[in-house]
Structure 1
Amino acid sequence: MVAIVVEPSQDETRNAVLCGLSAYNEAKIGPRNTKPLAISLRDESGAIVGGLVGELKWEWLHVDLLWVDGDHRGAGLGEALVVQAEQTARDHGARGVYLSTMSLQAPDFYPRLGYRECGRMEDYPVAGHRIHHFTKAL
């Protein structure tokens, strides 16, 4: 018999699901070849004023987070972060990049860097907004 249980914490379930799914995927397409990626922008005092966080896995870079402090926007630093991430991905053997951004963030930024929108979900995170999914071949 199997029971469906809503757990008070996700840790144990997340670990079990991740292990099971990873084993299944690896059997089908090979190891993830995972490498975390973090690139920061630091001011003269060493404080982080922007950065990009992602993960290299299989033959792709997934950009999870990109942010530049408002005082430093408009100077090409976001583009510089993406260019560095793409080069790191190429060096790792990646053949593409994928990411998501909300309409209130930067959906016009990525096409200027050669990214193509490959999907969109309306009314996320709230009604009237959307999330855009982008990809780029390296």
Structure 2
Amino acid sequence: MEFKPLDKEKNETNLITLLSENQEEEKKIPAEENIPFSLALYDNDLYIGGITANKWMNATHISLLAVNKNDRGKGYGSQLLKRAEEFAIETDSALITINTQDYQAKSFYEKLGYQVFGKLEDTPFIGTTKYYLVKQL
């Protein structure tokens, strides 16, 4: 046996295969293919922000959401989030999740119907808290 570096994408593909086989064996539920979602917002050719997510089985997880500092407060983040929620509904997700830091957008997500279901203090660095939020669709 030996440990070898492997391209992240290739390694994740292999890991998903192993986990899917285990799910089918243990739960008798065939795994679904992961469906990616990515949307960018531009003002002419200037990148303003964007959102990425992944739908797997009955859940969609928002990986990243950001809007340029100078363009915050104009509703762009809400619009991006709404598009991701529409994607989640169209792909039959029962819920959508996201995580955020205490200095980022926790109250923004809560205003839009997300609820905190967990938190980790001093993560990813000392003095900050990571919050995990969910919204039932």
TM-score range, shorter chain: 0.7 to 0.9
* Higher mean displacement: 84-93 or 110-119: 84-93
1:17 CA displacement: 3.1
Q: Distance in 2 between matches of 1:48 and 1:97?
A: 25
The two structures have a TM-score, normalised by structure 1, of 0.86
1:88 CA displacement: 1.3
The answer to whether the 8 A contact 2:38-2:51 is kept is yes
Supply the RMSD in Å over aligned alpha carbons: 1.8
Distance 1:114 1:41, change over 3 A: same
1:19 to 17, 21, 31: 17
Distance 1:33 1:99, change over 3 A: same
Deviations 1:61-90 (A, max 9, x none): 110000000111000110111111101111
Q: How many residues align?
A: 133
1:10 CA displacement: 4.3
Q: Distance in 2 between matches of 1:13 and 1:94?
A: 26
State the partner residue of 1:40: 40
* Higher mean displacement: 47-56 or 9-18: 9-18
State the partner residue of 1:136: 135
The answer to whether the 8 A contact 1:26-1:32 is kept is no
Structure 2 residue 31 is matched with structure 1 residue 31? yes
The two structures have a TM-score, normalised by structure 2, of 0.87
Distance 1:47 1:22, change over 3 A: farther
* Higher mean displacement: 115-124 or 46-55: 46-55
1:102 CA displacement: 1.2
Partner SS state of residue 40, structure 1? strand
The answer to whether the 8 A contact 2:115-2:133 is kept is yes
Letter in 2 for 1:24: N
Identity of aligned residues (%): 29
The 5 A counterparts of 1:43-58 are 43-44=43-44, 46-58=45-57
State the partner residue of 1:119: 118
Q: Which runs of 5+ in 1 are unaligned?
A: none
Distance 1:122 1:17, change over 3 A: same
Q: Which runs of 5+ in 2 are unaligned?
A: none
Letter in 2 for 1:20: L
Q: Distance in 1 between matches of 2:50 and 2:11?
A: 31
Structure 2 residue 52 is matched with structure 1 residue 79? no
